[in-house]
Amino acid sequence: MIDPKLLRTDPDRVRRSQQARGESVELVDEALAADEARRTAINSFETARAEQKSLGAKISRASGEERGALLARTKELSAQVKQLQAAADEADAACTEVFKRFGNIVFEDVPTGGEDDLYVIDTVGTPRDFDAEGFKVRDHLEIGEGLGAIDMERGAKVSGSRFYFLTGPGALLEFALIQFALHKAMGWGLTPVIPPALVNPAAMEGTGFLGQAAEDVYYLERDNQYLVGTAEVPLAAYHSDEIIDAADLPLRLAGFSPAYRREAGSYGKDTRGIFRVHWFDKFEMFVYCRPEDAVEEHQRLLAHEKEFITALGIPFEVLDVASGDLGLSAARKYDCYGWVPSQGRYREITSTSNCTEFQARRLNIRLREGKQVRPLATLNGTLCAMSRMILMILENYQQADGSVVVPEVLRGYMGGTEVFHPVGQEG
């Protein structure tokens, strides 16, 4: 959630953030009214409760008529305090619900716009000129099926549309990517974590995935649990309701988990192949740090993503994501878009977000620095989304005969294999 003090002291800042997001500016006035109602209700309760406590001390010293009057007032106050406490609790709950409707406060230098506004801030690598090489580009599915690496037909048979099997070279590529990602993460000082892929509602709501993203989430009604769409969720909730000593920060994690997404609203989009699917495996980086260190940590995560993609030899662009496409929790987000030869354009493969104190406030995660206890900051970043990275490798390393050259950095994780050949052309 946003900081209530910011709303009270600088409501125009919150209004500018709402406007940048394309969200309701009127919500600011609604929240101010709800906050005032909460504080008034709490003050009334605390005033009556203080009088109730003071009467207890007076009764022990009183006698006669005075004692009787005090006892009568105590009885009257007891009922009043209960009513005021209920009113305060109700006002607090109502105010919290209003505050939950706010997205994080957008940094003022984030470019404005929406999903279709792409602000490229860096370009790394040069796409191959397949025309100059003299052969027609195939898409990843045609290549993958030729290699015996991807089986969409049986994925649909077993699990439905947007599911798949990775077989042979496809499975080997994922295992190699997992090992390479783990190697890089540990070299950067990240602690490996394998978190649960099922979480409780508090974890999902606390990370901000039951707001704008709720329609993309798989919910298991019988168990009242959710399948995660990213390891960000359990990694963020890992320290919920805890206080972390500032001396132990930053905490830098790399979590590996399956990711499940309904892809609601994507009907007709990317229906071919494994770019937009309902399940994939992913390495996710996550950081807890002091709020004043968050911008630096965000740049560190972006640098990790760029180093990883560059090592795989995939041409890519870095985007400063527009304010209207940040999602609920991010104050700033950078995306890396890899080159897809068959589409002649760059497509998203990683994302890293600075969530400032937003998730920590919702999950009640704080830091202790001396005598001060305050919310910390959280950040996340994709290290490797397996299905999309496999797509990138198949398309960018394809050869005229349908074979695929294995990126050099992955060969040591698959017994030195240098080339995947089409089925029937091995050896």
Question: Does residue 296 carry a catalytic annotation?
Answer: no
Tell me how far CA of residue 410 lies from CA of 26, 175, 193, 311, 351, in angstroms: 52, 10, 22, 10, 22
Q: Tell me if residue 61 is catalytic.
A: no
Axis-axis angle for helices 169-187, 294-311 (nearest 10): 140
φ, ψ of residue 222 in degrees (nearest 5): -60, -35
CA 338 – CA 345 distance, rounded (Å):
8
DSSP string, 253-306: EEEEEEEE---TT-TTSS-STTSS-SEEEEEEEEEEE-GGGHHHHHHHHHHHHH
- Cα-based distances in Å from 195 to 238, 241, 376, 386: 9, 18, 21, 17
DSSP-based three-state secondary structure for 398: strand
Q: Do the Cβ atoms of 334 and 300 come closer than 8 Å? A: no
* Tokens matching residue 19: 């406007």
**Tell me, what DSSP letter sits at residue 167?**
-
300 in active site:
no
- Residue 105 CA to residue 28 CA, distance in Å, equals 12
Q: Cα separations (Å) of 240 from 152, 205, 376? A: 39, 12, 11
Phi, psi values for residue 406, rounded to 5°: -80, 130
Active site residue 388: yes
Query: Which one from 46, 51, 348, 369 is the annotated catalytic residue?
Result: 348
State the catalytic residue, choosing from 17, 351, 353, 387: 351
> Considering 261, 332, 347, 361, which one is annotated as catalytic?
261
> Measured between alpha carbons, how far is 339 from 396 in angstroms, rounded to an integer?
8
Q: Is 348 a catalytic residue?
A: yes
Q: How far does CA 14 lie from the centroid of its chain?
A: 22
Given 276, 290, 374, 411, the catalytic residue = 276
Q: End-to-end CA distance of the chain, in Å?
A: 58
Which residue, 34, 193, 15, 177, is CA-closest to 99? 34
Catalytic choice (317, 342, 388, 395): 388
Cβ count within 10 A of residue 380: 28
**How many whole angstroms separate alpha carbon 45 and alpha carbon 210?**
32
Q: Would you please indicate which residues are annotated as catalytic (active-site) residues? A: 261, 276, 348, 351, 388
